[in-house]
Amino acid sequence: MRRTTALIVGAGPAGSAAAIGLARGGARPTMLERSRETGDALCGGFLSWRTLDRLRALGIDPDRLSRRRIGRVHVFAGGRAVEAPLPHPALAVSRRTFDTVMLAEAERAGAGVERGAAVRSVDAGSVVLADGTTLSPETLFLATGKHDLRGLARPTPGPDDDPALGLRVRLAPSDAMRRRIEDAIELHLFDRGYAGLAVQEDGSANLCLAVRRSRLREAGSPDRLLRAIARETPAFGDRLAMRESGCGVDAVANVPYGWRMREGVSGLFRLGDQAAVIPSLAGEGMGIAIASGCSAAAAYLADGASGSAGWQRRFAARTARPVRIAGLMRDLAEGPIAPRALPWLGRAPFMIQVIARATRMT
C-alpha cells in the first residue's frame, strides 16, 4: 500500500487548479489521470470573465489559451432570435488546449503527475487502481468531472425521472462560421433541451447539447434527434450543416444538473462537477471547477485534512445562487414559453446581462 499526503484524482481544470495551489503553498500533491494523452472532453469550453480573473491569479495569461474574445450572446428559439452584449469579454477554448496548459502549470509548480493511472474505486479512504495498486492518502481531492467513482458516486436518477444527456458534435473551421459566430456565444433553445456553441482557439467549435432522455428515446438515435431539432430550429440546422465530415456524436448519460454536495467529511474535497453541477446553459461549469480547486487548496493549506468538511459546506453555499438561477433558466429554456419570451428579451436585452452576472461564481 502506497501512502500519500494530498492525492488528486483527475487532471482536468479542477484537479490542476488544486494542484497548482497546493504545490505553490508547499504541499507535495500527487495527481492521477486515467488517460495517457490529453484528449478533448465533452465540453463547450466557455470561460467567463470571472474565470479569466482566477486564471490570472494562478499565473495563467488567458492569451495562452486563445486570443479570441467573446463579447455577445445570441439566443435562438424556433425562428426567433435576440442578441445582447456580455457584461465583460469571455473566451472559448478546447479542453485539449486548456487541460494541457493547466497541467503544465501544475507540473511547473511542483505537483507530481501519474498518467495512465485509472482509479477503480474508493473504499474506506483507500484508493484502488485498475492494476490492483492501493493508495492510502491523508487527503483525497476528487476531481473526476462528470464521471463517478465506485464508493463516491453521486445520486442516480429514479425510474420515473427524465434525466439530461450531454451530446456533442464538432464543427469544422469555416469562413461562414467565423463570420456568424466568431465573437459570440450562441444558445439554441428547443423542446426539452438546448444547445450551446462558441468558436474555439483553432477556429473549430463544439455544438454541445443538453437534452432530456425522453427526446432521444422518441427520436431513436442521436443523429435522428439532431435532424429533428434542425427542422424545429432553423438556426440550429444552419450550424449543424457545418458538422465535420465523418464526425460522430459524443455522449455522456445522466448529467445531474442542479446537484450540490451540501455536506462534507474529513479528508475528502469534492471539486468541480463532483461538488456542484450547474446547468450548462449558464456557461459556468469551468468557473466552478477552477473556483473549487483554488479554494479547496487554500482550505487544505490553512487547516489540513480536517478542513474539508467545513470547506464543502461553504462551497455548497457559494454555488447555491448560480446553480438555482441557472436551473430556473433551464426550465424556461426547455419549455414551450421560450419562443414567446424571446421578443420580450429583445426589448429588454439588459436582462440577459443580469442573468449572466447572477449565474457567475463569486
Tens of pLDDT, residue by residue over 282-321, are 999 999 999 999 999 999 999 999 999 999 999 999 999 9
Q: How confident is the model over 230-264, as pLDDT tens digits?
A: 999 999 999 999 888 878 888 988 899 999 999 99
Least confident of 26-30, 170-174, 355-359: 170-174
User: What percentage of the chain has pLDDT greater than the value 70?
Assistant: 98
Predicted TM-score of the model (pTM): 0.94
Predicted local confidence at residue 42, as pLDDT = 67
Q: Domain spans of the chain?
A: 2-157+256-358
Contact 211/193 with Cβ under 8 angstroms?
A: yes
Instruction: Specify the range with the lowest mean pLDDT, choosing from 33-42, 254-263, 271-280.
Output: 33-42
d(CA 341, CA 293): 37
Res 160: pLDDT = 79
**Looking at residues 329-341, what average pLDDT do you find?**
85
Extract the C-alpha cell encoding 15.
Answer: 484537479
User: How many beta carbons lie within 10 A of that of residue 129, not counting itself?
Assistant: 18
Instruction: Identify the three-state secondary structure at position 165.
Output: strand
Alpha helices in the chain (DSSP H): 13-24, 49-57, 95-109, 175-181, 213-219, 222-232, 234-240, 285-303, 308-334, 338-347, 350-358
* Domain 2-157+256-358 -> CATH class: alpha beta
Please provide the average confidence, as pLDDT, over all residues in the chain: 92
